[in-house]
């Protein structure tokens, strides 16, 4: 998404990426958790990863990297990621501080992150209404059936503990079909492995709320007469010459975008984030979201940041406002931003789905540049 090259559709060649993040910083990419991509465990083929074990593994991997390249350890260090990295990143940052590492950690950026499963769950119905996936009539019936408080006030509803759960779950919306649940306005389906992840982890949440979203990965060729690009990076990374150049072990499995066993529930990052801001004085904590994603909605990110601001007594540095993309002749609006005085920031990216650097690479680069202190939002 943000590296120096993009694999072409032929799966054999590369193109330069105009908005690569390595143009402004040294980048280190980690395949996490263990058994994702080419990563492996020498003791077992399929380790049972958890949030805690992943945080420990990531920390040890970083320390190992800096042992090999000690001259880089003094440099300002930032951690970024997306989706479930909303769990990985704050927990890794906490390990760095707790273990009194000399890694010069200055900030974090989480894109469309699963920062808090409760906020994720509670934001889904409002997102569905706001994007026309459900009707106002259906929404009103759902609120009436599920909430014991003032109808229409989302934060006073708990769809996991409704006064009458039987009545609540009976308010069901007919199935909604979208080619891409990670970007509801994209005519092209996600890769098969991404679709499998959605069906396993995110689809059940909507269905439990009475909203069935069908993301059809079989439409990867043409959807509504729109020619969709083919996935070139998976076949490219599995070319024998590429594996050899990357020093991948001969017995390593085939590269895929996701993989590995994972156990336990989603660890909420509310307390972790409060600790990072109040105790460890993390420099910048940026949460950014594309506004077309049903997996980790922008409302999840926005409500998470709002809650953190309240719990840390963080004052707004300015009102919620639009931000403009650098380098565009007409100063195109990139989205909206809320800054707080302690470095906490929420960024909305217009027209992007779950993978902001893929959908809006210019905007993603600008957010990264803001994180490392060489641009403004």
List pLDDT tens digits, range 4-34. Answer: 999 999 999 999 999 999 999 999 999 999 8
Element (H, E) at 88: helix 85-98
Assign 3-state DSSP to the chain and report helix, strand, coil percentages, each to 5: 35, 15, 45
Residues in the chain: 377
pLDDT-derived band at 300 (thresholds 50, 70, 90) equals very high
Q: Give 224: exposed, middle or buried? Use CB within 10 Å, 0-12, 13-18, 19+.
A: exposed
Residue 74 to residue 76: CA distance in whole angstroms: 7
pLDDT-derived band at 221 (thresholds 50, 70, 90) equals very low
Q: How far is CA 84 from the centre of its chain?
A: 6
Residue 119 to residue 355: CA distance in whole angstroms: 20
pLDDT-derived band at 226 (thresholds 50, 70, 90) equals low
CB 5 within 8 A of CB 245: no
**What is the CB neighbour count within 10 angstroms for residue 248?**
18
Residue 125 to residue 208: CA distance in whole angstroms: 11
Q: At how many degrees (to 10) do helices 117-130 and 298-311 cross?
A: 130
pLDDT tens-digit profile of 61-89?
999 999 999 999 999 999 999 999 999 99
Residue 313: the pLDDT is: 96
CB 63 within 8 A of CB 39: no
Domains and CATH numbers, the chain: 5-116+264-371 (3.40.50.1820), 117-227 (no CATH)
pLDDT tens-digit profile of 307-326?
999 999 999 999 999 999 88
Q: Which residues contact 263 (CB under 8 A, 6 or more apart)?
A: 48, 49, 50
Buried b (16+ CB within 10 A) or exposed e, 98-107: eeebebebbb
69 secondary structure, DSSP code:
-
Residue 132 to residue 21: CA distance in whole angstroms: 35
**What is the CB neighbour count within 10 angstroms for residue 320?**
12
pLDDT tens-digit profile of 46-61?
778 999 999 999 999 9
pLDDT tens-digit profile of 112-156?
999 998 888 889 889 999 999 889 999 999 888 888 755 555 446
Residue 282 to residue 23: CA distance in whole angstroms: 25
Q: Assign 41 to helix, strand or coil.
A: coil
**What is the greatest pairwise CA distance in the chain?**
62
Residue 284 to residue 351: CA distance in whole angstroms: 24
The mean predicted confidence, pLDDT, of the chain is: 89
Residue 153 to residue 360: CA distance in whole angstroms: 32
Does pLDDT of 3 surpass 60? yes
Q: At how many degrees (to 10) do helices 85-98 and 270-278 cross?
A: 40
Q: How far is CA 352 from the centre of its chain?
A: 12
Q: Which residues are catalytic?
A: 83, 293, 354
pLDDT-derived band at 98 (thresholds 50, 70, 90) equals very high
CB 91 within 8 A of CB 269: yes
Residue 234: the pLDDT is: 92
């Amino acid at each position: 998404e943000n590296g120096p090259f993009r694999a072409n559709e032929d799966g054999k060649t590369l193109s330069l990426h105009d908005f690569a993040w390595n143009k402004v910083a040294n980048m280190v990419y980690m395949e996490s958790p263990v058994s994702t991509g080419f990563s492996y465990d020498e003791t077992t083929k399929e380790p049972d990863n958890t949030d805690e074990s992943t945080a420990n593994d990531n920390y040890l991997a970083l320390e190992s990297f800096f042992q090999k390249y000690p001259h880089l350890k003094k440099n300002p260090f930032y951690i970024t990621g997306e989706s479930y990295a909303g769990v990985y990143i704050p927990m890794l940052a906490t390990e760095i501080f707790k273990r009194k590492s000399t890694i010069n950690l200055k900030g974090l950026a989480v894109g469309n992150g699963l920062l808090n499963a409760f906020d994720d769950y509670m934001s889904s119905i409002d997102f569905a209404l706001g994007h026309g996936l459900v009707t106002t009539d259906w929404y009103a019936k759902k609120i009436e059936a599920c909430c014991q408080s003032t109808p229409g006030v989302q934060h006073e509803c708990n769809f996991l503990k409704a006064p009458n759960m039987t009545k609540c779950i009976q308010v069901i919306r007919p199935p909604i079909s979208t080619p891409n649940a990670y970007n509801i306005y994209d005519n092209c389906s996600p890769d098969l492995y991404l679709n499998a992840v959605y069906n396993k982890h995110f689809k059940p949440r909507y269905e439990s709320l009475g909203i069935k979203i069908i993301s059809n990965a079989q439409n990867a060729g043409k959807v509504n007469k729109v020619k969709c690009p083919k996935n070139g990076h998976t076949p490219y990374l599995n070319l024998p010459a590429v594996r050899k150049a990357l020093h991948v072990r001969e017995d390593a499995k085939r590269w895929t975008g996701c993989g590995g066993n994972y156990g336990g529930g989603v660890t909420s990052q509310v307390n972790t984030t409060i600790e990072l801001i109040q105790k460890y004085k993390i420099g910048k904590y940026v949460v950014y979201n594309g506004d077309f994603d049903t997996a980790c909605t922008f409302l999840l990110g926005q409500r998470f940041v709002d809650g953190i601001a309240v719990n840390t007594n963080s004052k707004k540095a300015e009102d919620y406002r639009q931000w403009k993309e650098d380098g565009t002749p007409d100063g195109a609006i990139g989205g909206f931003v809320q800054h707080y005085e302690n470095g906490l920031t929420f960024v909305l990216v217009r027209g992007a789905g779950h993978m902001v650097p893929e959908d809006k690479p210019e905007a993603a680069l600008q957010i990264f540049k803001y994180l490392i202190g060489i641009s403004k939002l």
